[in-house]
Structure 1
Amino acid sequence: MASQSQIYAGAFADPVFAAQSVFRDLMDGFARPGTIKQLSAKSVPPAPLSAAAGAVALTLCDHDTPVWLTSALSKSAVPQWIAFHSGAPVTSSKTEARFAFFERGAAIPSFDHFALGTQEYPDRSTTLVIEIEALADGAPLVAKGPGIKTEVEISPKGLPDVFLEFWNANRAIFPRGVDLVLTAGDALVCLPRTTRLSPKEA
């Protein structure tokens, strides 16, 4: 059972200023895919949710944004923490979720398990917030697309081997599809569905 301190503590010290700061970082991250954003606004969510993922939850989630959590997160103090600080309801339905959170090492299902939006309303999709081992030092990927002048190299460490397969299937249904926020500690990288990813050639 979650302790009261786990549920009530760990939110932003200055909620308005911090949420504005994280929101700017997220918007800039989605405008410039692949850019590592080190968050200055700090949150200390219950384990196993990371600091950056907690900051995303505090900034973007509210009573109108159902949240889906992995089994490990669901069994921790995270559901109560998110509910108390943001008012966001937790749902067991992936297709109803506006945000889905994955702790480091969690199994990631194919993205079509989540809400993909519609042709008329592509924004009615799930944003996946995935904690990985690191935002660098992994297998290099080349990113191209809107917000990227020519191309940019990213090297997230800890994504599943089938990640590119999932991502390419997601790209194929544009303008529908999910968007990703990759987190590691107190940093994040945004990958909108418009971004094309491919392995870097040796």
Structure 2
Amino acid sequence: MAAPALAAPLAAGFADPVHDAQRSFAAVMRAMAEPGLPVPLASDLDPPAPLSREAAACALALLDYETPVFLDAVLSAAPAVAAFLRFHTGAPVVDDPAAARFALIADGAALPDFGAFAQGEPDYPDRSATLIVQVQDLSAGALAIAGPGIKGHRGFSAAPLPADLPARLAANRALYPLGIDLILTAQGPDGLGAVMGLPRSVKPVMED
């Protein structure tokens, strides 16, 4: 009789759960307060692929047992990712994006339609979704945005993302105070990561 197969070991969480979570949370909050600005996010996590260490750090800092999370097709195809998130955060993984408070998107180029996610309610705009999106690059760039936390306007670049992102941001801003929030994550040189916030309060600055 063959011995049962052993489950793969679960990837470790934060080495210092309290302080590491605080540092990651502070980086995310600064990114949301200063939209379009890449904020350093150092992490020594080694999460299961294809979840990046930066997205994992955001997830471990933001998720808990009361925040259902949706995984895109790339992440949901790797069962170890869901197991990692459930164990370290207690967050239930849901199949319906509209039921999620957070969503993890591994493929920024295939960013789902924002309308698939909870937009909040008039009396409870906080009952909306936040999308944590993995990209390969975050920097200053040609896509300009304006809004709270930005003096005048700020240009940024993030790739890969859909070509219609400016139109999506404009439609999202039109729903304010409803709408979704975006947290973009990327790994920089020497393994130093970054996070960028695109809250629902920002709007693209269109050229005349």
How high is the TM-score relative to the length of structure 2?
0.89
The aligned runs of 1:6-21 (5 Å cut-off) are: 8-21=10-23
CA distance in 2, matches of 1:200, 1:47: 39
The structure in which a higher percent of residues are strand is: 2
Asked if 1 retains the 8 angstrom alpha-carbon contact of 2:109 and 2:161, the reply is: no
CA distance in 1, matches of 2:6, 2:162: 30
The aligned runs of 1:17-28 (5 Å cut-off) are: 17-28=19-30
Equivalent pairs counted in the alignment come to: 198
The aligned runs of 1:32-47 (5 Å cut-off) are: 32-47=34-49
Q: Please, which of 176, 192, 197 is the counterpart of residue 204 of structure 2?
A: 197
Does 2:8 align with 1:4? yes
SS state of the match for residue 122, structure 1?
strand
Asked if 1 retains the 8 angstrom alpha-carbon contact of 2:36 and 2:155, the reply is: yes
SS state of the match for residue 88, structure 2?
helix
Asked if 1 retains the 8 angstrom alpha-carbon contact of 2:38 and 2:139, the reply is: no
SS state of the match for residue 47, structure 2?
coil
Give the residue type in structure 1 aligned to 2:82: P
Query: 1:188 corresponds to which residue?
Result: 195
Aligned-residue CA RMSD in angstroms?
1.9
Which runs of structure 1 show a deviation greater than 6 angstroms over 4 or more consecutive aligned residues? none
Shift of the alpha carbon at 1:48? 0.7
Instruction: Structure 1: give runs of 5+ residues left out of the alignment.
Output: none
How high is the TM-score relative to the length of structure 1?
0.91
CA distance in 1, matches of 2:126, 2:162: 26
Instruction: Structure 2: give runs of 5+ residues left out of the alignment.
Output: 188-192
SS state of the match for residue 58, structure 1?
helix
Shift of the alpha carbon at 1:13? 0.7
Q: Please, which of 145, 169, 177 is the counterpart of residue 167 of structure 1?
A: 169
Cα–Cα, structure 1 residues 124 and 172, in superposed 2: closer, same or farther, change >3 Å? same
Bigger drift between 9-18 and 56-65 goes to: 9-18
CA distance in 2, matches of 1:11, 1:199: 42
Q: Deviation digits for residues 52-74 of structure 1, max 9, x if unmatched?
A: 10001100101100000012211
| Percent of paired sites with the same residue | 42
Q: Please, which of 28, 32, 49 is the counterpart of residue 51 of structure 2?
A: 49
The aligned runs of 1:1-202 (5 Å cut-off) are: 3-5=7-9, 8-76=10-78, 77-105=80-108, 107-136=110-139, 140-185=142-187, 186-198=193-205
Q: Deviation digits for residues 81-136 of structure 1, max 9, x if unmatched?
A: 00011110000111110000111355222101100001111110000111112113
Shift of the alpha carbon at 1:10? 3.5
Cα–Cα, structure 1 residues 105 and 176, in superposed 2: closer, same or farther, change >3 Å? closer
Give the residue type in structure 1 aligned to 2:181: D
Q: Decide which structure has the larger Cα Rg and report it.
A: 2
CA distance in 1, matches of 2:111, 2:174: 19
